[in-house]
Amino acid sequence: MSNLLAIKKLISLAGLSKLLLMLFLGFISGLAGICLMGSAAWIISYAALHPPLYALTLGITCVRFFGISRAAARYLMRLFSHRLAFRCFEKLQLMIYTKMCRELPLKTSLAKQGQYMQQLSKDAELLRDFYLRWLLPVLSTGMLTLCLCLWLHEISPASSALVCFVYGIHIILPVIKINMVKRNEPVNIYRDTLTDVSEGRDELIMSGQQNSFMAKLDNGAVSYGEAANAQQSQQEITSACLDIIRQISFVVYLSLLIQAIGNGTLEPRWLGVWILLLLGLYIDFAELTAAAFPLLNAVESAMRILDKPQQADIVESSPLDSSSEHILSAENISFSYSKGYPVFSTISFNLSKGESMAVRGDSGSGKTTLAELLLKLYPTDHGEIALFGTPYSNLSADIIRSYFSASIQQCHIFSDSIRDNFTRLHPGITDEKIWQALDTACLGNDVRIMPMKLDEPMGENGSRLSGGQRNRLLTALAIASDAPCLILDEPTDGLDKITGARLIENVISHIQQNGKTLILITHDVEAASKLPRELLLSQP
């Protein structure tokens, strides 16, 4: 049932009228294909009766016409159907973007998050192919079958019914068969084992047990391969079954036609024509089988992309009372990524407008997580954060984030250029403001000596920058915003002491000039000491 629903949604995504046009083109191309062979058979059969030459003219014209129109129709169908599929692909890409905007960051590990994003991108590609390889061929072949059967019905009703039945089997059998195969489990185990090796590589090598672990990996690959083989052989058996059904039905069809000749409903010289028409149709049927196997995956993909959000963000935004004493307050908040393992012991604090605070703690004590909670990237498990006295649960994420600008460790550097990074996050920003922000973050001089200055390409996630430069760019991106509350996550990481101290000084004078509130996440005691208040995180 859910399969049908997914297919229905995909059809509406493509647009019914466009789909119908594709269908028509597919039908024409299929028709021209089988008619080419049919008219060739007509010429030969008729010629065997030695009629006058002019009697063959019709056949000769037909065979040439269908020969050319087959190639042309097929070309047009491919062109237009691919354009349609790619247009749908555009919509699907936007859909996965919107979905990810809603769901990221996940509470799982970064590796799992990457896997999830990869999966969705692959889903979109799979669905694009679904239109091309399955939906359009199934429908246009169906139309072709229907036309042929209507014509055939007058000659031999039984054989007409037979052909319809064979078409139905070709749609239904693969769908039933593939529903029974599960390939996911071994591949997930194998993936997890691969992750283990990649992330625990150092310990594995030093332990001296790498060989016994290799055996484990190899076993993973073997059972993954076996699962793939099982699926493959399931497909091959299904194809073979359909082949047998097709060939037997062909022989039955032949016998029925011979009977029809005996009954006088079919002229003998049409026998060869009907045989070649059916053989042409059966070639299309055989192609349907191969296309049906990725169908289950496509349906799964469709479910992943098209599912509705489980809970809508509460957008009922009560007006914020900006005269409230505390811009930000937290009361006994706690949070855990996996149930029962809270990241830090409960936190409470109040922060007045213009007041600044350092957040310290060991690595793994949840400093960055606190920033993510303040930005409502995750909801708290217990306790409540409030903005101007209004609890977060009553505020939309959009309103909350409008009060913040932040650089956190999950932040990404876009690969195009420095200017591109600024204009993406601050549309309409002037070069002057960019330079100002860069200078405050002590990065201006580094950029001035880059060959292309603001247009310097950054590489994938800023890979052309050093760790320190990357951090300073993130700081500059956050500073460029006018939001009243600034969150900086380890801005001095990877900087030498002098630059680090200068950066902190610059940031402090920046927030004092603009009346901003600063939350500085750092393990650097010296930097933290420059701020009036300190919040120390500890593990539960």
Partner 1 sequence: MRITDVLYNEKQAVSFLCLLQLFVSICTIGAAWQLSRVVCDVFLQNLSLNAAAPNIGLLLFFLLTRIILQYLLNNRLHSFASRLQLKIRKKLHRCLIMQAIPSDRLQLLAVETTDALDKISSSILPQLLSILVLMPLILILIFVTDLQSAVIVLVTLPIAPILLALIGHKTKSATLDQWRKLARLTASFRDMLAGIITIKIFRQEKTNGQRLMKNSRAFTDASMKVLRIAFMSSFALELITTLTIAILSVSIGLRLLYGETDFTTAFFLLLLLPEFYRPLRQGGTAFHAAADVSTARKALQETIDVSDVSSGQHTDDTLQIPPDITIQGLSFTYPDAPLPVLHNINLFFPAQNITCICGTSGIGKTTLLKLLAGLLPADNGCILFNDKNLAGFALESRQKIITYVPQMPHIFQGTLSDNISMFEHASDNVTKIKEILAYTGLSLPYNTVLGAGGQALSNGQCQRLGLARAFYQDRPVVLLDEPTAGLEPAEEQELLEKLSEFARRKTLIVISHRDAVRKWADREIQLEAVMSAPSLEVRYE
Residues 326-355 that bind partner 1 (CB under 8 A): 338, 340-341
* Smallest distance from partner 1 to CB 192, Å: 4
What separation in angstroms does the CA of 417 have from each of 410, 447, 460? Answer: 19, 11, 11
Distance separating alpha carbons of residues 453 and 370, to the nearest angstrom: 35
Number of Cβ atoms within 10 Å of the Cβ of 131: 25
What gap in Å lies between CA 475 and CA 519, rounded to an integer? 12
Nearest to partner 1 of 146, 157 (CB atom): 157
Q: Does 158 contact partner 1 by CB under 8 A? A: no
Q: Is 385 in the site for partner 1 (CB under 8 A)?
A: no
Rounded distance between C-alpha atoms, residue 293 and residue 179, angstroms? 10
**Distance set, CA 385 to CA 388, 404, 483, 518 (Å):** 10, 14, 18, 17
CB atoms within 10 A of CB 501: 16
Report helix angle 295-306 to 110-129, nearest 10: 120
Site for partner 1 in 407-436 (CB under 8 A): 408, 410-412, 414-416, 424-427
Instruction: Choose between 44 and 164: whose C-beta lies nearer to partner 1.
Output: 44
* Cβ-based neighbour number of residue 101 at 10 Å: 8
Q: Which of 18, 87, 419, 510 binds partner 1 (CB under 8 A)?
A: 87
Residues whose CB falls within 8 Å of the CB of residue 435, separated by 6 or more in sequence, listed in order: 444
Considering the complex, state which of residue 172 and residue 283 has its C-beta at the smaller distance from partner 1.
283
480-499: contacts with partner 1 (CB under 8 A): 481, 493-494, 497
Q: Are 329 and 389 in contact (CB under 8 A)?
A: yes
- Within residues 213-272, the interface with partner 1 by CB under 8 A covers 213-214, 216-218, 221-222, 224-225, 228-229, 232-233, 236, 239-240, 243-244, 247-248, 250-251, 254-255, 258-259, 261-262, 268-269, 271-272
Instruction: Please report the beta strands in 353-431, taking only residues with DSSP state E, as ranges in sequence order.
Output: 357-360, 382-387, 390-391, 404-407
User: What's the closest the beta carbon of residue 266 comes to partner 1, in angstroms?
Assistant: 10
Interacting residue with partner 1 among 114, 168, 309, 391 (CB under 8 A): 114
Q: How far apart are CA 57 and CA 36, in angstroms?
A: 15
Q: How far is the CB of 439 from partner 1 (least distance, A)?
A: 20
Count H helices and E strands in the chain, helices first.
Answer: 19, 9
**Could you say whether residue 462 binds partner 1 (CB under 8 A)?**
no
Among 5, 8, 12, 121, indicate the residue that binds partner 1 (CB under 8 A): 121
**Stretch of residues binding partner 1 (CB under 8 A), selected from 160-168, 205-213, 317-325, 350-358:** 205-213
Residue 21 as a binder of partner 1 (CB under 8 A): the answer is no
Quick check: 321 binds partner 1 (CB under 8 A)? no
* SS3 state at 349: strand
510 vs 523 by CB, closer to partner 1: 523
Instruction: Say which residues have a Cβ less than 8 Å from residue 274's Cβ, sequence separation at least 6.
Output: 38, 152, 155, 257, 266
Q: Which of 12, 20, 58, 75 binds partner 1 (CB under 8 A)?
A: 75
Contact 311, 11 (CB under 8 A): no
The footprint of partner 1 on residues 125-154 (CB under 8 A) is none
Give how many residues touch partner 1 by CB under 8 A. 151
| Choice between 350 and 414, CB closer to partner 1 | 414
Least separation in angstroms between residue 149's CB and partner 1 is: 21
Closest to partner 1 by CB, 12 or 184: 184
Binding-site member from 18, 24, 74, 355 for partner 1 (CB under 8 A): 74
